């Protein structure tokens, strides 16, 4: 049986990254985001068909997230070299083009396992998206079948609801009163 994550400290991680411009390798750990909100999302594999729609949509919306003091980190089980190649491949050739956030490599699959989204028999992650608050508490998770992409608008709405500090009814939107 899966253990719940929401309302608990987010599982720690340390991974290699490639910058959103596809030029630099680096590393990232959960503690790097202390004091900021983090949208941490997993996608199955590089060079696939649904994944770039999500990744590029989040990149386009990155300024909206930054305005909410929120960083974005994408991750898959591919290597940083695969990530770099995908970023540096033209969009019209199934590439990503430049992004406004880094991509991390969970090549050991440990982070996907820790977040409860590893499909062990396939060696890939489900589409898991997590919102982690500035103190490192996991506040939200949504996990989709790999055939279905997620919604940037819903992610922004939930983030804003969490940041509002109040009770938010179904379909709450910024500007609505809290319960």
Residue in 47, 116, 52, 119 with CA at minimum distance from that of residue 78: 47
Strand segments, DSSP code E, in 11-162 are 14-18, 25-29, 37-42, 70-76, 103-105, 118-119, 124-125, 127-132, 138-144
pLDDT(50) > 90: no
pLDDT given for residue 52 in this prediction: 84
**CA 122 to CA 71: how far, in whole Å?**
29
Active site annotation includes 51: yes
CA angle 88, 36, 126 (to 5 degrees): 55
Mean pLDDT (the chain, rounded): 94
User: If you search the block for the tokens 């068909």, which residue do you land on?
Assistant: 49
Q: Is-contact 127 146, C-beta < 8 A?
A: yes
pLDDT given for residue 177 in this prediction: 83
pLDDT tens figures, 108-135: 999 999 999 999 999 999 999 999 999 9
pLDDT(36) > 70: yes
pLDDT given for residue 6 in this prediction: 95
pLDDT given for residue 2 in this prediction: 67
pLDDT given for residue 176 in this prediction: 84
pLDDT given for residue 1 in this prediction: 53
CA distances to 2, 18, 22, 52, 130 from 74, in Å = 23, 10, 13, 11, 11
Q: Which two tokens stand for residue 107?
A: 């090549």
Backbone dihedral angles phi then psi of residue 139, each to the nearest 5 degrees:
-100, -20
**CA 171 to CA 176: how far, in whole Å?**
10
pLDDT(19) > 70: yes
Q: Which residue has the higher pLDDT, 104 or 50?
A: 104
pLDDT given for residue 119 in this prediction: 96
Of the chain, the percentage scoring pLDDT greater than 70 comes to 99
Which member of 10, 15, 51, 159 is catalytic? 51
Q: Which residue has the higher pLDDT, 91 or 14?
A: 14
Q: Is-contact 4 96, C-beta < 8 A?
A: no
**CA 51 to CA 71: how far, in whole Å?**
19
Q: What is the dihedral of CA 125, 128, 131, 132, to 10 degrees?
A: -30
Backbone dihedral angles phi then psi of residue 51, each to the nearest 5 degrees:
-55, -45
């Amino acid at each position: 049986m899966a253990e719940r994550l929401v309302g608990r400290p987010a599982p720690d991680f340390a991974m290699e990254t490639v910058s959103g411009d596809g030029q630099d390798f680096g590393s990232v750990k959960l503690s790097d985001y202390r004091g900021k909100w983090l949208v941490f999302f997993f996608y199955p594999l590089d060079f696939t068909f649904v994944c770039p729609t999500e990744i590029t949509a989040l990149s386009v919306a990155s300024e909206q997230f930054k305005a909410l003091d929120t960083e974005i980190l994408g991750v898959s089980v591919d290597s940083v070299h695969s990530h770099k190649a995908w970023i540096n491949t033209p969009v019209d050739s199934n590439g990503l083009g430049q992004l406004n956030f880094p991509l991390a490599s969970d090549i050991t699959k440990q982070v996907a396992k820790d977040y409860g989204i590893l499909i062990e028999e396939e060696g890939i992650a489900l589409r898991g998206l997590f919102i982690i608050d500035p103190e490192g508490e996991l506040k939200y998770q949504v996990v989709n079948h790999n055939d279905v992409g997620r919604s940037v608008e819903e992610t922004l709405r939930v983030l804003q609801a969490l940041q509002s500090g109040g009770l938010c009814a179904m379909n709450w939107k910024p500007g609505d009163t809290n319960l």
